[in-house]
Structure 1
Amino acid sequence: MVDCIECGGELSLYDDIEAGEILDCSTCGAELEVLEVDPVEVDKAPELQQDWGE
């Protein structure tokens, strides 16, 4: 388990979680990226940016 950095709600984690995965908080809907797996550390997921074909 890890706490959401936005709302403090608890997030359930899979046993085989990997760094770089994106988790959705079921309480507030925040998207969080797994930075470390032992111990589990999460941060706000980066926003996807449009490239507009450039």
Structure 2
Amino acid sequence: MSTVACPDCEARVSLDTPVLNEIVECAECRSELEVLSTDPVVLGRAPEVEEDWGE
């Protein structure tokens, strides 16, 4: 299990088995975070979902 700081609020986020590009949620601030690296574990803000309007 890995524990890393949320990049938004600095709360500790626990991950059982971090997977690259996995989306997790911070329990404290509810930010959606993406696993950017697994060794060492690095979290960043998940990209916003954008609609393509069929383009």
Q: Could you tell me which residue of structure 1 aligns to residue 47 of structure 2?
A: 46
CA distance in structure 2 between the aligned counterparts of 1:5 and 1:51, rounded to whole angstroms: 28
Structure 1 runs (4+) deviating above 2 angstroms are none
Shift of 1:19: 0.6
**Structure 1: stretches of 5+ with no match in the other structure:** none
Q: Could you tell me which residue of structure 2 aligns to residue 18 of structure 1?
A: 19
Which amino acid in the other structure matches residue 8 of structure 2? E
Percent of pairs with identical residues = 45
Shift of 1:45: 0.5
**TM-score normalised by length of structure 1:** 0.91
- Cα RMSD, aligned residues only: 0.7
Higher strand share: 2
